[in-house]
Amino acid sequence: MEDRVSAPRTRAQGGRGAGRYAPSPSGDLHLGNLRTALLAWLFARASGRRFLMRIEDLDRARDSGAGERQLGDLAAIGIDWDGEPVLQTERGADHEAAIRTLARAGLVYECTCTRRDILAAPSAPHAPPGAYPGTCRDRTDAQRAVAREAILPRIPALRLRAPEGVRELEFDDVVLGRTRGDIDDFVLRRGDGTVAYNLAVVVDDATMGVDQVVRGDDLAPSTPRQILLQRMLGLPSPPEVEYGHVPLVLGPSGARLAKRDGAVTLAQLRERGVGSGEVLIELATSLGLGAPGEPVTTARLLERFDPAALPRAPWTWAGPR
Ligand code: GLU
Indicate whether 14 pLDDT > 60: no
136 is known to lie in a ligand binding site: yes
Query: Domain coordinates of the chain in residue numbers?
Result: 18-90+204-315, 94-189
Q: What is the mean pLDDT of the chain?
A: 92
Indicate whether 172 pLDDT > 90: yes
Q: Is 54 in the pocket of ligand 1 (CB under 6 A)?
A: no
Q: Is 25 in the pocket of ligand 1 (CB under 6 A)?
A: no
Give the per-residue pLDDT at 38: 98
Q: What share of the chain is helix, strand, coil (3-state, %, to 5)?
A: 40, 15, 45
318 is known to lie in a ligand binding site: no
Alpha carbons within 13 angstroms on the beta-carbon side of residue 134 total: 16
User: Which range has highest mean pLDDT (4-13, 180-189, 250-259)?
Assistant: 180-189
Q: Is 30 in the pocket of ligand 1 (CB under 6 A)?
A: no
Same fold, 18-90+204-315 and 94-189: no
Atom of ligand 1 nearest to the CA of 205: 9
280 Cβ partners below 8 Å, 6+ apart? 38, 77, 78, 296, 297, 298
Atom of ligand 1 nearest to the CA of 201: 9
What is 295-318 written as a DSSP string? Answer: ---HHHHHHH--GGG---S-EE--
Give the per-residue pLDDT at 129: 79
Indicate whether 50 pLDDT > 50: yes
Give the per-residue pLDDT at 60: 67
Q: Is 91 in the pocket of ligand 1 (CB under 6 A)?
A: no
Give the per-residue pLDDT at 297: 98
- By residue count, the chain amounts to 321
Q: Is 67 in the pocket of ligand 1 (CB under 6 A)?
A: no
Residue from 20, 195, 215, 227 whose mutation best tests the ligand 1 pocket (most atoms within 8 A of CB): 215
Query: What is the percent of the chain where pLDDT is above 90?
Result: 81
Atom of ligand 1 nearest to the CA of 23: 4
290 Cβ partners below 8 Å, 6+ apart? 281, 284, 296, 300, 301, 304
Peptide bond preceding 247 in cis form (omega within 30 of 0): no
Question: Quick check: 31 and 287 in contact, CB under 8 A?
Answer: no
Give the class (CATH, top level) of 18-90+204-315.
Answer: alpha beta
Give the per-residue pLDDT at 319: 82
Across the range 203-209, mean pLDDT stands at 98
- Ligand 1 atom 6 nearest Cα: 22
- Ligand 1 atom 7 nearest Cα: 22
**What's the pLDDT band for 259 if we cut at 50, 70, 90?**
confident
CATH topology of domain 94-189: Glutamyl-tRNA Synthetase; domain 3 (3.90.800)
Q: Which tens digit of pLDDT belongs to each residue from 274-320?
A: 999 999 999 999 999 999 999 999 999 999 999 999 998 999 998 87
**Rounded distance from Cα 128 to ligand 1 centre (Å):** 23
Cα–Cα distance measured from residue 256 to residue 264, given in angstroms and rounded to the nearest whole number:
12
Amino acid type, 232? M
Q: Which tens digit of pLDDT belongs to each residue from 105-156?
A: 999 999 999 989 998 888 777 777 788 999 999 999 999 999 999 999 999 9
259 is known to lie in a ligand binding site: yes
Q: Is 23 in the pocket of ligand 1 (CB under 6 A)?
A: yes
